[in-house]
Structure 1
Amino acid sequence: MLFDEQEKGIVTKFHQLSDSAQKLYVRLFQRKFGWIKRHKLEYEEIAADLEPVVGELEQAGFLQTESELRELPEVLDLLSAPELRTLAKTFHLGHPGGQKQPLAEALLRLARQPSVFAWGRNPPGVGAVILKRAKDLAGPSLRVCRGPRAVFSRALLLFSLTDSPEEEDAACGGQGQLSTVLLVNLGRVAFPRYTVRRHARVFQDRDDLLRYAAAAHTLSDISAAMAAGNWKEAHALCQGARRDWKELKHHPSLRRHEDLPLFLRCFTVGWVYTRILSRAVEILQRLHLYEEAVQELEELLSQKVYCPDSRGRWWDRLALNLHQHLKRLEPAIKCIAEGLADPEVRTGHRLSLYQRAVRLRASPSCRRYRHLLQQLPEVTVQDVKHVTAVRLMAVLSPSQVTITGRLCPQLGMGKSVFVMEAGGPAAPATALCSVEELALDHYRRSGFDQGIHGEGSTFITLFGLLLWDIIFMDGIADAFRNAYQAFPLDLCTDSFFASRRPAIEARLQLIHAAPAERLRDWVAATWQAQEGRAASVVSWDRFTSLQQAQDLVSCLGGPVLSGVCRRLAQDFRHCRGGLPDLVVWGSQDHRFKLVEVKGPNDRLSHKQMVWLDELQRLGADVEVCHVTAVGAKSKGLN
C-alpha cells in the first residue's frame, strides 16, 4: 500500500535483470549519488568487461550515461584537479598549482558571461563551450537514475525504521542495512534472539511515507552542512524546512501520529521536522541570532507531541539565552520555573536549571525577583565532606585526589596528552597517555591492580548482562519490528520500564540480595549463551575476559548493581551518559572505587554530578581525580 504500481514495476524489472546487472547496480547504489567515470569502475568479481552490464542497466532504465550529463557544475565535479587545471588553462584561468574548488568556481563564473563570438545565427555561449570541453576531458561516465534510486531508498528507509531518523544511513535510505544483511547472511554478525511483533501501522498511506522520506533527507543535508561548518547553508536549509513544516503541521494525517507509542512516533514526519527545528536553534546560536533562537525554542516547547526527550535541553538553552545573551531576567526566571515543573526535564538538565536559579538568586540585579526564585522546588545533590577549596567538587564528591603529570606539547583543541613513566628501574621508559590512563596508573600504584576506562559502557554492559532476557523479552508489541535490531525500540523511552515493570522489579530485588557467587553465575550464564551477539547494551570487548567481568560484579555487590540497573531501566535515554570514567578494584581485598577523571581546565557536567551523587547514595566509594599539568608555563609547551 505504500508503493504505487509504477514503483512496484521498478522492483519487478530489477528482479528480471541478470545477476551481474543486479550486482553492479547494488554496488553503484551504495556509492555516493553522482556521476562516475566509467574507467574507474572495476568489479572483477562481477565481470572482466562491464560494458555489456552497463548497457543492460541503461536499457532497463536504471542508469544514465554521459549523453544525459548536461549540467556544468556536475561535469566540473567529475573532473580531477589536473583535468580542471588543463581546462582552466584553455580559457586562461588559474595557474598550474590551482586548487580544484577555486578553479571550478572561476569556470562557472566565466560560463555565466555572454559570448564574445558574434558571428552566426545562434552563436554558442561560453558555458556551452566549457561544457563540451569538460565532457571531452571527463570521457564516458554514468550515474544511477534518480527515479529507481528513490524507490529503493524509500524501501530501505522503511526497512530501517529501527535506526534513528538522525542516523545518516537511515536518513539517506538505509544503505547501511544492505551491509548488515550481507554480514548476517555470511555468518559474521548475529543479533540477539527475539520475536518480531509488528502491531501498529506507522505510515497511513504512500503520501505519509513520501513526506517522511523527504523530511529525513532534509535532516541529513542539514546535519552534513553543520558537520562541515557551513552554518549559512544549514540556516538556509532550516528556513526552507520551517516553511514546509508550517504548511504541513495541520495536515489531518498528523493527528493519527499522536496515537502511536512514543518509540514509533519518532518515525513520523512531525518528529523529523521537530528535530530539524531543534538543529535550527544550534545554528541560530552559532550565528549569534539569539532573538530568533529564543522564538524557535518557545515554538518547540509549545507542543508536547514530538521529541519530549529533548525538552530538558530546550528549557536549559532557553534559560541560558534569556539570562546571559538577552539579559531578560524575569522571563529567564519564569522559564526556569516552567522547566522545573515539566516532568520531561530529567537528571542533568533539571540540576542545571536549578543551579542557574541559585546564581540568579545571588545576583544583586535579581533582588526584585527573589520572591519568584524562593518558590522554585529545590534540586540538590548530596552534600559531603569538603576536602579542598574547590567548592563545586567538594560538594559533589566524597573525596578529591590531585595527581600530577607532564603535559605533552600539542597543537589545537584536542584532549590533553601526558608523558607517563613506564618500565622498571632496570629499563626505565616513557609513554604517551591520556589523562584517564595516567589516573589508572596512579590507582595501580595505590593498590588497585585492576582497572577499566570505559565510562558508561562498563556499567551499561553489566546492565545488559544482568537483564539480557528482560531487555529482549517477548510480548512487547512493536519493540522488535525486524530481525536486525541491536536493542528494543522502546529502550530509550519510559515505556521500556512500564511495559516490563514486574519482571524488572523482581530481577532488581534478586540482584540487590544476591551474594557474590550468584552474581558471578548470572554474568557467566549470559556471557556464555550470548557472547558476540550485536547488542547495543553489551560491549563484549569492554572486559578482557569473562573472569574480569565476574570479578568486577563481585566487588561492586548487589546494592550498587541493582541501583545502577534501576536508573538505566527507568530512564536509559538520560542516564546512559555521565557515569564515572574509571572503575578500579583490588583483586585480593575486593576494594573498589568509581572515579571521574578531570584533566586541566576540565570540570564536571551536570549529568556527572547527578551520577556521582546517586552512586554515593548507593554506597559506592566515589571520587573525582584531578590531573594537573607540570613542567609547562601554560597548556602547551614552547
Structure 2
Amino acid sequence: MNSASAAPATASLDDPFYYLANFRFVVAWVQARHGDLLSADEHHALEQWSQLPRASQALLVRMVMRKGELFRLDKLSYPEIGDTHQALAPLLALGWVSDAPLLTIEELFRLLRLSELRDALRASIRSAGLASNATKTALQTALTPVLTDALPLRQWWPEASTRIVRLNVMALCDRLRLMFFGNVRQDWAEFVLTELGLQRFEQVPLTAESRAFQRREEVDTYLTLHRLRERLENGESPEQLAAEVPAAFGNRWLDARRSRLLLTLGRTAERSGNVEQALSLYAEANNSEARIRRLRVLERIGRYSEAYELAQVALEQAGEGEAQALSRLLPRLARKLALPSPQAVKAAEAPTYVLELAGPQPVERAVAEHLSTATAPVFYVENGLITGLFGLLLWPVMFKPLPGAFFHPFHSGPADLYREDFVVQRQAEIDACLAQLDDGRYRETIRATWHAKQGITSPFVHWGLLNEPLLTAALDCLPAEHLRACFIRLLSDLKHNRAGLPDLIQLIPDAPDGELRYRMIEVKGPGDRLQDNQRRWIDFFCRHDIPVEVCHVRWQPVP
C-alpha cells in the first residue's frame, strides 16, 4: 500500500473525458487501499469495468453522476461519447443497465412530459373522466390510486418514442464512494466534475491505518444507517425505522452517526405527535441536542420532576451550548415544582452604542468606513481572523496523520475535526503549539506557515481574507495571552465556537503604552439581535478583559 505523500495527478478540464479519468482514479484508489473490504463479486465487477470500452465507461459514469437510477435514453447524449446505443450495449450485456425496467406510475410521471403522458395514458384518462387538457398534477392525483401495477414502458405506452433504462450498479458505486470519501455526503459529481488541480491540498502521509474503515462490517453499518435516513426522507414512519436501527457498534465514529440518526427519527416522531416514541429515541441518541429536546418534550407534557432530575445530570457533562439551554430550562422547571430557582450566572455584556448612518447598505461596511482612520484601520473579519491565526499556529495539529483523519489525498482538514476525542488524540501537539505563545515564537511560526502553506485548503484559514498586511498588523496588536485564551476556547468546541466571533476588528498600532491596541466590534443592523453563539463569545471576551463592543446601526431618515 502506497504511503507516499505526493499529490496524485488529476485530469484537466481540457480533456473531454476528465470526469472519467477522475472516476477511474477513485476506482483504482479503492482497489489498492480497500481491496480487503471488497467481496469477490465486487472485485470481479471492477475487473469487468476495467475492460469496458472507454465510451461505455464514460456513459456509466455520466449516469452514476446524475440523480436517481432511471434515465430516458434520449437524455443520455454526450458529444465525447458519441453513439449512446453503441456505448450502452456492453452495459446491457453485463446487466449493469436494464433496458426494460418496471416503472411505477409515480416514476412514469417523473420521466415523461405532459404530452407524452396524455398519449401513453389515453385510455385511463378517458376511463377516469378526465379532461383531455388536464394538468400533469391533476392527472397524477387522479390516476395514481388506480394504476398500481409496475410495468415496462412498452406496456404503459406501446408507441413510446423514447426508451427508459435503469442503472443497476448504484449499490457498488455507493460503496466505492463511501470507502473513498469516508462519507456519502459528497457525491460523485462533486469529485469527478472538479479539476482538482485548481485546488491545493496538504500532502499528508497515508497508511493502512489512515483508512476510514478497517472492516467490511463497518462499511455495511454505515450504509445501513444511510439507507434508513433515506427511507425516513421518503416518508417511512420513524416507528418502523427505529426497530431496524442497528445496535451500537463500538466504533466511536459510527456510533456518533447512529446517534444523529436516532435524533432525526426522534424529531420526526415528535412532529407527528408520537411523544413516547420521540422520548425513547432521544434517550437512546443521548447527544447534547437529543438531551435538550427530550427535556423540552418532558416539560411540555408536564413530567416536570423527571425533566428536572435529567437536567441536573445533563448539566454535569454539558458543554457551553448545552449549558446555555439548560440555564433557561432549569429555572422554569424549578418554578413548576416550587423549588428554589437555581443560581443563574448572568452573562457579561459588552459596551453597546448606536450609530446613525446613511443607508441602507451592508451594515458591516458602513460601520467599518465610519470608524476606520489612517492610524486605526477597521477590517471586516467576522470568523476569519482569530480562527485563521489559530489554524496557522496549529497547522501541524490539523494535519497530523492519525487513523481515521485522512484517507484520500483531497482533504481540506481532518475527518474527525468535530469528534469528541479530537483534542485528546492530539494533546501533545496542541500543547507544543500553544507553548509558543508563552515565549514569542508564535509570531514567526504563524508568518512562516502563512508563506509556506499559502493557498492550501484548510478548515480554518481563509486565504482571501487573511492577507499579509492584516496578518502582520494583527500579530503586532493582539496580545499572546488573548490569543491563547481564544484558541483554548476554540478547542473546547471546534464545531460551535468557530462561529459567532465579532464582525469587525480595529487595529490601533500607535496606541499609548499600557493601552490595548485593538478592539473587536459586533455589528447589528436594524431589527437584528445577538445570536446565542455571539453572546457566548462576548461573555467570554468580557470575562477575559478582551476588548469587545456591540454597535447597533440605525439608518438616517431620508430627507
If the TM-score is normalised by the length of the shorter chain, which range does it land in?
0.7 to 0.9
| Alpha-carbon distance, 1:12 to partner | 1.0
Q: Which of 302, 311, 334 matches 1:327?
A: 302
Q: TM-score scaled by structure 1?
A: 0.72
Query: Which residue pairs with 1:318 in the alignment?
Result: 294
Identity %: 23
- Listed one character per residue, the Cα deviations across residues 560-598 of structure 1 (whole Å, up to 9, x for unaligned) are 222212222343234223323333435765843323334
Q: Which of 1 and 2 has higher RCO (CA within 8 Å, sep 6+)?
A: 2
Query: Which residue pairs with 2:16 in the alignment?
Result: none
Query: Which residue pairs with 2:352 in the alignment?
Result: 400
Does 2:252 correspond to 1:297? no
| Alpha-carbon distance, 1:39 to partner | 1.9
Number of equivalences? 516
| Alpha-carbon distance, 1:16 to partner | 0.9
Q: Which of 178, 191, 204 matches 1:157?
A: 178
Aligned residue runs from structure 1 range 65-214, under 5 A? 65=99, 67-85=100-118, 87=120, 91-92=125-126, 98-112=134-148, 132-134=155-157, 136-137=159-160, 139-145=162-168, 148-161=169-182, 163=183, 168-169=185-186, 174-176=187-189, 178-179=191-192, 183-184=195-196, 187-199=197-209, 206-214=216-224
Q: Which of 496, 505, 527 matches 2:422?
A: 496
Distance 1:353 1:150 in 2: 43
Aligned residue runs from structure 1 range 219-230, under 5 A? 219-222=229-232, 224=233
Aligned residue runs from structure 1 range 554-573, under 5 A? 554-573=476-495
Distance 1:129 1:571 in 2: 54
Query: Which residue pairs with 1:242 in the alignment?
Result: 242
Distance 1:141 1:150 in 2: 20
| Alpha-carbon distance, 1:29 to partner | 0.9
Distance 2:117 2:361 in 1: 44
| Alpha-carbon distance, 1:546 to partner | 2.1
Distance 1:77 1:199 in 2: 45
**What SS is found at the alignment partner of 1:625?**
strand
Distance 2:121 2:414 in 1: 55
- Listed one character per residue, the Cα deviations across residues 287-315 of structure 1 (whole Å, up to 9, x for unaligned) are 454444333322333xxxxxxxxx22222
Q: Which of 33, 37, 43 matches 2:68?
A: 33
For the structure 1 residues 102 and 459, does the alpha-carbon distance in structure 2 shift closer, same or farther, using more than 3 Å as the test? farther
**What SS is found at the alignment partner of 1:244?**
coil
Query: Which residue pairs with 2:387 in the alignment?
Result: 460
Distance 1:555 1:397 in 2: 23
Aligned residue runs from structure 1 range 465-476, under 5 A? 465-474=392-401, 476=402
For the 8 Å contact 2:71–2:166, the answer to whether it is kept is yes
**One-letter identity of the residue aligned with 2:284:** E
Unaligned runs of 5+ in 1: 113-124, 226-232, 302-310, 382-394, 406-419, 422-431, 633-638
**What SS is found at the alignment partner of 1:132?**
helix
Query: Which residue pairs with 2:31 in the alignment?
Result: none
| Alpha-carbon distance, 1:18 to partner | 1.1
Q: TM-score scaled by structure 2?
A: 0.81
**One-letter identity of the residue aligned with 2:352:** Q
Distance 1:81 1:138 in 2: 14
For the structure 1 residues 539 and 135, does the alpha-carbon distance in structure 2 shift closer, same or farther, using more than 3 Å as the test? farther
**C-alpha RMSD over aligned residues:** 3.4
For the 8 Å contact 2:210–2:407, the answer to whether it is kept is no
Query: Which residue pairs with 1:115 in the alignment?
Result: none
Distance 1:578 1:138 in 2: 56
- Listed one character per residue, the Cα deviations across residues 371-403 of structure 1 (whole Å, up to 9, x for unaligned) are xx55xxx6736xxxxxxxxxxxxx532311234
For the 8 Å contact 1:297–1:318, the answer to whether it is kept is yes
Distance 1:82 1:484 in 2: 46
**One-letter identity of the residue aligned with 1:523:** I
For the 8 Å contact 1:336–1:354, the answer to whether it is kept is no
For the structure 1 residues 82 and 591, does the alpha-carbon distance in structure 2 shift closer, same or farther, using more than 3 Å as the test? farther
Distance 1:96 1:402 in 2: 64
Query: Which residue pairs with 2:313 in the alignment?
Result: 338
